[in-house]
Structure 1
């Protein structure tokens, strides 16, 4: 992971490295680090970040952290406001 972090320090727009870093952090259950990596990818308009946020939201929901689940989806919505399924997922959480 350190190599990917260094790559992103050199070239923050290399969003594929951010996605890979997010996925590795997600697998290691380092939720905060995964979130930051997906945010960096989303800032660079990498559509795969949306899947990362959804995975984080799902895991949070499974752990009983419904507030965290909603927060991840809300962050994703900031970067992908046109995604109607995100809106539906957020509404589903409010029920």
Structure 2
């Protein structure tokens, strides 16, 4: 007897259908579906929202520095800039 792939019924389809039925039965027993979010995830969501609320450009700081430049009072500390570039923010 020779068996080739065309004479066998597709077993995968039957197995997949059985899995869906078992999932539906579990959902019916539990009542409703739900999602629980951990405290850390909730905290992360709050922080992300606060970050989104912060403007990208600090207008007040820009005005302050612009005024210092106009008045000739703006001083650049090359050492601080070099340290920041090499080692990150202080």
TM over 0.5: no
TM-score category, normalised to shorter length: under 0.3
* TM-score (norm. length: structure 2): 0.25
Greater CA radius of gyration, 1 or 2?
2
More helix by share: 1
* TM-score (norm. length: structure 1): 0.24
- Which structure has more relative contact order (CA 8 Å, sep 6+)? It is 1
